[in-house]
Amino acid sequence: MSDSKTARTEDPSRRRRSHHDDEELVHFRIVRFMMESGIKLRMTSVPMATAAIIYHRFFSVCRLQDFDPYLIGMTAISLASKVEEEHLKIRDVINVCYRTRHKDKPPLESQTELADLRQAMASCELLIMRVLGFNVTKELPHKYLLHYLKSLGDWMDASVWNRTPIRDTAWAMLRDLYHGKVCLQHKAQHIAVAVLYFSLLCYGIEVPLNNQAETEWWKVFSDDISEEQIKNIIEQIMDVYDLEKRL
Amino acid sequence: MDLSRRFSQGSLASPPTLGSPPTLGHLVDMTMMDVSATFHGSSLRARIQEEFGLSEMTVGNDTERAMSLFQQRMESFIVRKADVLFQTRATSHVRRTHAGKDEEDYYAVLPPLELFMAVPILPAKERFYKMVQSGDIVVGKIVSLKDFGFFVKLLCLTSGGARDIQDMDITALCPSSDLPSHGAHQRPIEYYHTNDIIQAVVKTVSAVDDRIVVSLKPNHLPQLLADVYLGIITSDDLPVHFRRSQDLQTSQASYDQLLQRVWGFSNPSNVAYLGEVLDIADKHPPSLMRGLHRCPFPQEDFAESLRQHQSSKWALACVGTGVQHFKAGRHVDAMQCLEKALTFDPENVEALVVRGALYANKNSLLRAMEDFAQALKLNPGHNNARKYMCDTLLARGKQLQEEGEDEEAMTAYQRALVINPHLQEASHALEQVRTKLENMKTVSQVDLTTETEEVPSELSFAQSSKEKLQKLLEVEGSSKDRSRHRKRSATEHRMRAQAFTAHPPAAPEDRPRPTRRCKPKLRYPITGLAPRLLLSEKEEKKEKTVQLKFG
């Protein structure tokens, strides 16, 4: 009796977990689509990150089945470009997103279809704003990461700092982690410190005199974080990279 | 593993199988990988060797790490991403900025990290002696003056980044020979006093006995920092990070608190600025994801190309309907369509050619020529454009000939011949005009001697301009005589003065105003003398009265 009971209780959770994983994969795919479009639109990292956050926040409230996630993604890009004051022309956004989505079809030529998409995007934008309660800004880790890199770089040995691509890798990791929901779950400073820690760890570089100092370097940058938390965030980032394998 | 066996046999990597990352060993920087392996331990090293099929790497002192779950995951990650992480790339240099006042608000300049970390002084001092190089700019306080130079206690570094050395008690020497002279009367050393704060450049560092020599001469500055000021500075000129570190001693704020407080942190463009300083290319953003690494997208998928492609498609569609209208005789509609096409794509060659043809039909030849000229600029080989351009030029030439502007008609025919040297009509017409002009030239020379009023249009440009200049001079000559006055004798001056006092000039309304410009002038004086000298006596007197009025 108890066996069947446990079997019954296990089943739904497993189903839920796989369903959840599938959803994660779908979101990963859409954010990948957004990142591709962002590169073709020559967007910089900050508006790109804002767009990803808008997307994730929307789908943490709404269900995936009710909306076309690609449309939401495209609208998030346009919205983010307005928020971060790096304006993109809507025609460009639609052209690029259409092309990225339908790689086999020729690029958009019909004026009517363009007008339809424009209309769709306008209503979608209002919908997203309402869902997010008109609160579309969030403090981003990019500023913090750059300042940490500058401060740390002044202290490190110049030859090591120039030769090892710690800065590029940290920046790459920061961009990549927006494929997952890590960005929503932690403070900006914590993410920045974790990414920098991760980058240094990958290359096996140690901060000079860190073990003899009173405060370790990551504690200096963000005094309310523990090494445990940093490792947690790093594991979540590695989870995001694992998702790519399953694509 | 199949892959590793193949590699250990020494063959070059074949194209990677689906799913496994490319494992070409020579694309990877071995030293970087070595450093990482040394840090993480022998297990990572073994895994890398296995993955890459490399021969035994130099086994240095690998730190043995506890194999926690985290460590295992870490190692798997490194191995999986090794080809991207350790990719050989050019050394990227952080821009060597000079911590000047301008930089203060571009981003949040904070006191040096070691201050917050509170590193022990002795190791830090050792490190400093190893890191400081000649060419670094330092700020220090003069502690003692001697005959051969003065000693400076170093306070901070200003180039290349913040560095706190105030507590380290490092003294450097600045010899007299490295002081710029401040005048012939004093020795250079007498210009400086104890407790002056100076900014100097490091000349030599001797690692053996930890002696630093600084200099105040600008020729010791490195090229990138060639315009930095060396010499006495006030406390206002102290670098920002140093001043902030002074404040830190009293306020004991944390890094984060200080960051939020500083103005430069809220500067919206500090991301772009720091990105540039730290040499992180945001234009080709780096990524560790397989799909985004190395920007694999073709250029025509980018926003600008898609837009251009779309615009030209729309423009061509409009041109099509425009041509239809034109053939049906609806010229107004055709023109509208063409205008629409050109708003979509202003550089569309087809649209320009068709619009040019429409203009030519309406007989607005100049506008037609402009359009054809632009079309040919964009596409010099466009056959229709060339044909229409020639036709229009011919028509224009004929038009000009009718108006009498043979000069310009000739240039029109010549342009047509440039585009199409074989055009018979153009060469005929050109010959006609040329002979006509030559005939007229000989006629005009005869005309000149008979002093006709009207200017024959066949005169060469140089001659007609000379005429115009003379005309101008005649008009000017009446009003600007002062400079070309003949010399007066002393008696004449006296007489004139007397005349002035005896008969003061009448009120302006009494005197009849001389009408200067209505005088009949001799236009083409036969003798060729300057017009001024041919004026009659009466006219000269009139000018003198004019002189007095303004004198």
| Per-residue pLDDT reduced to its tens digit, B478-534 | 545 444 555 566 666 677 666 666 565 555 555 555 555 555 554 554 444 444 444
Whole-angstrom Cα distance, residue A157 to residue B317?
A: 62
State mean pLDDT over B180-197.
Answer: 80
Confidence grade of residue B3 (pLDDT, cut at 50, 70, 90): very low
Tally C-beta pairs within 8 A across A and B: 220
Both tokens of A110, joined, read 């019909």
Q: Do A222 and B256 touch (CB under 8 A)?
A: yes
Q: Do A162 and B93 touch (CB under 8 A)?
A: yes
* Distances A95 to A39, A92, A104, A191 between C-alpha atoms, Å: 13, 5, 14, 33
Look up residue B45 and give its amino acid: R
Residue of B nearest to A198 (CA): B74
Give the per-residue pLDDT at B160: 63
The 10 Å Cβ neighbour count of residue B26 is 8
Burial of A228 from C-beta contacts in 10 A (0-12 / 13-18 / 19+): exposed
Q: Do B285 and A172 touch (CB under 8 A)?
A: yes
Which has more confidence, B86 or B95? B86
- Residues of A in Cβ contact (< 8 Å) with B120: 209, 212-213
Which has more confidence, B36 or B515? B36
Least-confidence region, from B59-73, B205-219, B453-467: B453-467
User: Beta strand B137-145 with B197-206: parallel, antiparallel or unpaired?
Assistant: antiparallel
Both tokens of B519, joined, read 């005088």
A166 pLDDT above the threshold of 80: yes
Task: Name the nearest CA neighbour of A152 among B116, B127, B253, B45.
Answer: B116
What percent of chain A clears pLDDT 90, i.e. is strictly above it? 75
B113 pLDDT above the threshold of 70: yes
B121 touches chain A (CB under 8 A): no
Long-range pairs of A125-134 with CB within 8 A, sequence gap ≥ 24: A125/A75, A125/A78, A125/A79, A128/A54, A128/A58, A128/A72, A128/A75, A128/A76, A128/A79, A129/A79, A131/A58, A131/A61, A131/A62, A132/A54, A132/A57, A132/A58
User: Measured on CA atoms in the order A22, A23, A25, A29, is the torsion positive or negative?
Assistant: positive
Residue of B nearest to A85 (CA): B268
State mean pLDDT over B422-438.
Answer: 82
The per-residue pLDDT for range B43-93, each reduced to its tens digit, is 888 888 888 776 655 555 666 667 788 999 999 999 889 888 888 877 777
* Distance from the B304 Cα atom to the nearest Cα atom in chain A, whole angstroms: 8
Give the per-residue pLDDT at B448: 63
Question: Which A residues 171-190 touch B at CB under 8 Å?
Answer: 171-173, 175-176, 179, 189
State mean pLDDT over B293-315.
Answer: 89
Give the per-residue pLDDT at B550: 37
Q: Do B38 and A189 touch (CB under 8 A)?
A: no
Give the per-residue pLDDT at B202: 87
A8 pLDDT above the threshold of 90: no
State mean pLDDT over A121-142.
Answer: 93
Q: Given A168, A210, A217, which is nearest B280 (Cβ)?
A: A168
A76 pLDDT above the threshold of 50: yes
* Distances B363 to B200, B324, B328, B376, B399 between C-alpha atoms, Å: 76, 20, 19, 20, 10
Q: Given A36, A206, A208, which is nearest B127 (Cβ)?
A: A208
Give the per-residue pLDDT at A54: 96
A174 pLDDT above the threshold of 70: yes
Confidence grade of residue B461 (pLDDT, cut at 50, 70, 90): low
Both tokens of B224, joined, read 């990138």
Q: Do B107 and A150 touch (CB under 8 A)?
A: yes
Give the per-residue pLDDT at B5: 43
Both tokens of B382, joined, read 């466009």
Least-confidence region, from A132-146, A167-181, B207-221, B489-503: B489-503
Give the per-residue pLDDT at B546: 41
A193 pLDDT above the threshold of 70: yes
Both tokens of B41, joined, read 């331990």
Cβ-Cβ contacts under 8 Å for B72 (sequence gap 6 or more): none
- Residues of A in Cβ contact (< 8 Å) with B92: 162, 165, 167-168
A33 touches chain B (CB under 8 A): no
- Residues of B in Cβ contact (< 8 Å) with A147: 107-108, 110, 259, 265, 274
The per-residue pLDDT of chain B, averaged, comes to: 77
Least-confidence region, from A33-37, A38-42, A129-133, B171-175: B171-175
Highest mean pLDDT among B84-88, B209-213, B248-252, B371-375: B371-375
Whole-angstrom Cα distance, residue B309 to residue B79?
A: 43
Give the per-residue pLDDT at B119: 86
Contact assessment for residue B154 and residue B170, using Cβ atoms and an 8 Å cutoff? yes
Which has more confidence, B449 or B394? B394
Both tokens of B209, joined, read 């006995």
Question: Which A residues 105-134 touch B at CB under 8 Å?
Answer: 107-109, 111
Task: Name the nearest CA neighbour of B457 among B408, B399, B527, B525.
Answer: B408
State mean pLDDT over A170-182.
Answer: 94
- Residues of A in Cβ contact (< 8 Å) with B277: 150
Cβ-Cβ contacts under 8 Å for B398 (sequence gap 6 or more): B409, B429
Interface with B, mutate which of A189, A209, A216, A219 (most B CBs under 10 A): A209
**Longest CA–CA separation in chain B, Å:** 126
* Distances A72 to A22, A91, A97, A155 between C-alpha atoms, Å: 18, 16, 11, 44
Give the per-residue pLDDT at B18: 44
Highest mean pLDDT among A7-16, B49-58, B207-216, B302-311: B302-311
Whole-angstrom Cα distance, residue B522 to residue B476?
A: 14
Burial B463-478 (b: 16+ CB within 10 A, else e): eeeeeeebeeebeebb
Give the per-residue pLDDT at A127: 96
Highest mean pLDDT among B7-11, B145-149, B184-188: B145-149
Interface with A, mutate which of B71, B85, B110, B269 (most A CBs under 10 A): B85
Q: Do B306 and A213 touch (CB under 8 A)?
A: no
Question: Which A residues 60-89 touch B at CB under 8 Å?
Answer: 85, 88-89
Residue of B nearest to A238 (CA): B77
Question: Which B residues 256-295 touch A at CB under 8 Å?
Answer: 256, 259, 265, 268, 270-272, 274-275, 277-283, 285-292, 295
Give the per-residue pLDDT at B501: 64
Least-confidence region, from A47-56, A84-93, A176-185, B209-218: B209-218
Residue of A nearest to B38 (CA): A204
Question: Model's pTM, two decimal places?
Answer: 0.76
Give the per-residue pLDDT at A40: 94
Cβ-Cβ contacts under 8 Å for A5 (sequence gap 6 or more): none
What percent of chain B clears pLDDT 70, i.e. is strictly above it? 72
* Distance from the A186 Cα atom to the nearest Cα atom in chain B, whole angstroms: 16
| Rounded CA Rg of chain B | 43
